[in-house]
Every structure is written in structure tokens, then in C-alpha cells.
A and B are shown apart, each in its own frame.
Chain A
Amino acid sequence: MICGLLLRNDMRKTLFIGLPIALAILAVGFYQAIFVAPTEATMGEVQRIFYYHVPSAIMALLFPYVNFAASAAYLLIRRSNPLRAQAADALALAAAEVTLVFASIGLATGMLWGRAAWGIWWTWDARLTSFLMLWLLYVSYLLLRRFTAGGQTQTLAAVLSVFAAIDVPIVYMSIRWWRTQHPSPVFFGGPDTGIDAHMMPAFLFNVAGWFVWGVLLVTLRYQLQRKRQRAEQDATLRALETTLQSVR
């Protein structure tokens, strides 16, 4: 369905199908997180930040791979198939912006939670520092695209996205490789890890909801970028026609 929508480039259809589904799952997730999930024993109510912080951080580690795959496709086909390469570039840009939104949320909610739970806003441990690096890499990626001129912008951005993709496994493994202020892995961390079974629905609904929301945003942003590319191509063609007519 998503591929079909991407190909047809119909933003209205994407919005009318995707938005109600995403909002419905997120509404259930919100209800579960605030009203159903039990209050954590040591941290109290502030632990409910977990239900937005962790899913957002997961999305911030997932969408860089969409950006990376699209950038790699752009680098591979930019000479052999320049028109299709523009589609890959539009997808890379969409995924980068959505990554930055989720990474900003991961950072901000983490800081708010840290302040309440540890008494500090920030510490330079491996998880926080590598995640801040990921955020800075995507800020650089978007600044590069916005403020450089010339024909190499897309290629340079695609190369930068490779560095961002390398940082993702470092962020994921940081709490496994090093002792950090950030808690040890809650999931896939071996025996004696995990959360209370009563907290799982709130967590899973929010992961699913933010995933659908992220896919919706990437699809809409991709479709907008494709429309912009076509508008620019049309404008260039019109300018060329006018020049040719004036020469004749």
C-alpha cells in the first residue's frame, strides 16, 4: 500500500488514510500510558515519559537506515538513471527530516526525565554523547542541503548520510559496551531485564503508533519533495523554451 501511494504521489490520499490510523493507535497508546500502565515504584509518575522517550528513540535509530538506503541508491544510479536518482534523493531527504524530529524528541524527553530521576539535565556518557552526535549529524546533513549551491549538494549529502548510519549501531551498543549513567538495556539485555507485563501494552501501542506516524510523515514529505522537483523541472524547461524562442 505504501509503495502504491509513493508511486501515485497522491498526498491527499496518504493523509486521509494514514492520519486516522496513526492517530487512533497513538490515542490508545496515550490512554494506556497515562491511565492504564501502573506507576513505577521508585521514580513515580515521571517514569511515564518512557512511553514516548523509548519509541521516539527507536524511530530515531530506524529512519536513518531509510536515509542511508536511499542515499546509497542515489549514489549508485545518479549517472545511469538520473530521474530515478531524484526520487531516491527525495526519500533520503524525507527520512533525514523525520529522523531529526524523532532524535530531538529523544534528546528532550531524555533530558526532562534525567532531570527528574537523576537530578541532572545532561552528562557526557557514551549513550547520550553518541545520540547527540547522531542529532548533530542530521542537523549538518540538512544544513548542507539547505545552504550549499552547485550540482554536488545531493552527492555530498548522500556521503554524509553514510557517517550518520555508522553512528546508529554505536548508539545502540553504547549501553552494552560501556558503563553509562543511562540505564542498561531494558529489552534484549539478557536475563533479568524487561518491563512489567502490565506496562507492555502502553509501550507496544506507542511503538506501533509512532512507527505508523513516522512512515506517514516520510511518505508525505517524499511526495512534497517530488512535487517540488517536478515544479523546478517545469520551470527550467519553460525558461529553456523562452530562450530558444528568443534566439530564433
Chain B
Amino acid sequence: MGHRHLVIAYIFVWTLQLGYLSSILLGWRRLRK
């Protein structure tokens, strides 16, 4: 059970952080157009 929670936690952290970084970069790209 512990392994599954660990994997979900690490995937969640990277998904949220990279998703937020992408949203900033998309905003930048939209502004440059």
C-alpha cells in the first residue's frame, strides 16, 4: 500500500509543478503573438 501512495505523491508533485510552469510559458507565448 505504501508504494502506491509514494508513487502517486511524486507524480502529483511533478504534474502540478510542471503544469504551473507550462501555464506561465503559455501565457508568455500568447502575449508575444
Which residues from chain A sit less than 8 Å from chain B, CB to CB?
11, 15, 43-46, 48-49, 52-53, 56, 97-98, 101, 104-105, 108-109, 112-113, 115-116, 213, 217, 220-221, 224, 227-228, 231
A221 to B, closest residue via Cβ: B24
Number of A-B contacts (CB under 8 A): 66
Are A45 and B3 neighbours in the complex by a CB distance under 8 Å?
yes
Closest CB-CB distance, A28 to chain B, in whole Å? 15
List B residues 1-33 near A (Cβ within 8 Å).
Answer: 1-3, 5-6, 8-10, 12-13, 16-17, 20-21, 24-25, 27-28, 31
Partner of A49, one of B9, B25, B31: B9
Closest CB-CB distance, B20 to chain A, in whole Å? 5
Which residues from chain B sit less than 8 Å from chain A, CB to CB?
1-3, 5-6, 8-10, 12-13, 16-17, 20-21, 24-25, 27-28, 31
A213 to B, closest residue via Cβ: B17
Q: In the docked arrangement, what's the CA distance between A101 and B8, Å? A: 17
Are B6 and A227 neighbours in the complex by a CB distance under 8 Å?
no
Q: In the docked arrangement, what's the CA distance between A116 and B8, Å? A: 12
* Interface SS, B side: helix
Are B28 and A227 neighbours in the complex by a CB distance under 8 Å?
yes
Extra inter-chain contacts (17) besides given A105-B16, A224-B31, CB under 8 Å: A11-B28, A44-B2, A45-B2, A45-B3, A49-B5, A49-B10, A98-B20, A101-B16, A105-B17, A109-B9, A112-B8, A112-B9, A220-B21, A220-B24, A220-B25, A228-B31, A231-B31
Are B2 and A101 neighbours in the complex by a CB distance under 8 Å?
no
The CB with the most chain A CB atoms within 10 A, among B3, B13, B25, is that of B13
Q: In the docked arrangement, what's the CA distance between A105 and B3, Å? A: 18
Are A224 and B20 neighbours in the complex by a CB distance under 8 Å?
no
Closest CB-CB distance, A226 to chain B, in whole Å? 11
Partner of B2, one of A43, A227, A228: A43
Closest CB-CB distance, B32 to chain A, in whole Å? 9
Are B13 and A46 neighbours in the complex by a CB distance under 8 Å?
no
A19 to B, closest residue via Cβ: B21
Are B2 and A104 neighbours in the complex by a CB distance under 8 Å?
no
- Inter-chain contacts of B24 with A (CB < 8 A): 217, 220-221, 224
Are B27 and A46 neighbours in the complex by a CB distance under 8 Å?
no
Q: In the docked arrangement, what's the CA distance between A116 and B1, Å? A: 7
Closest CB-CB distance, A234 to chain B, in whole Å? 12
Are B10 and A52 neighbours in the complex by a CB distance under 8 Å?
yes
Q: In the docked arrangement, what's the CA distance between A231 and B28, Å? A: 12
